[in-house]
Copies of this chain bind each other. A is one copy, B any other.
Amino acid sequence: MGENTLPEQIAMQLRRQILHGTLRPGATIKERDNAADLGVSRTPMREAIRILAKEGLVELRPARSPVVASPTLKDVTDAITVIVALEELSGKLAVEHATREEISEIRSIHERMQQGYDQFDHVERFEVDMEFHMAIARASHNVALAETHAAYLRRMWRARFLSARTRRNRERVVRQHGDIVRGLEERDTDLVAVSIHAHLGHLLDSIKVAFADAPDDARPAEENETIPEAADAK
């Protein structure tokens, strides 16, 4: 489960806390405290924070405490606009270059999601969905594209996570994923493009709804809401 290097392990811890909501958007991340909590020194904690900053999950400002990013609705829609472009390109290239093995792997991910949809909790469902999209990007055989795409998905993790609570999408999601897989199998560029477009269009809609319902990421969670740890006596 643990990544290779220490900073990455720490980054994963923090990432989970952010995604889970333990670290709320707007909260400050104090190097010393968090490092002490995890039993490491500031140095790897600093690096971990930079990793998260690269992913867009935390915001760095010079000489100030880093804060958990509070993406606005526009931030999210902008990012999705880029993701659409990246995935359309992925789809086009995958149609051209994907091997049969890669496509059948994509299908198997799709079927795993289809079968397990109801048993999975929304976190698992979510991770499978992410796997699906990343496998397509990888099938483009364009490393840079796959990496950039993955970076965007990570950045959107929380927003997508919040919007994925509704379970009603089951049929639509499964159908759209199925269309994409079929498009790849039949090397049908247009079908893939259209399906991806529709799929992400619905994602955008549900994110908008989520923001309207509970603008979680909009509210800066002001005040000293750092890490919820037992404050030891001074």
Q: Which residues of A contact B (CB under 8 A)?
A: 4-5, 43, 47, 50, 54, 62, 75, 78-79, 81-82, 85-86, 88-89, 93, 142-145, 148, 152
Contact = CB atoms under 8 A, between A and B. Distances in A.
Nearest to A83: B144
Chain B CB count within 10 A is highest, among A4, A81, A144, for A144
Contacts of A79: 144
Given A81-B89, A86-B85, A89-B81, A144 B47 contact: no
Contacts of A81: 89, 93, 142, 144-145
A96 to B, nearest CB: 11
21 contacts: A4-B62, A43-B43, A50-B50, A54-B54, A75-B143, A75-B144, A78-B142, A78-B145, A79-B144, A81-B89, A81-B142, A81-B144, A82-B144, A82-B145, A82-B148, A85-B85, A85-B86, A85-B88, A85-B89, A144-B152, A148-B148
Q: Copies per complex?
A: 2
Chain B CB count within 10 A is highest, among A50, A78, A88, for A78
**Ordered nearest first, which 5 A-B pairs have the shortest CB separation?**
A78-B142, A85-B89, A78-B144, A79-B144, A82-B145
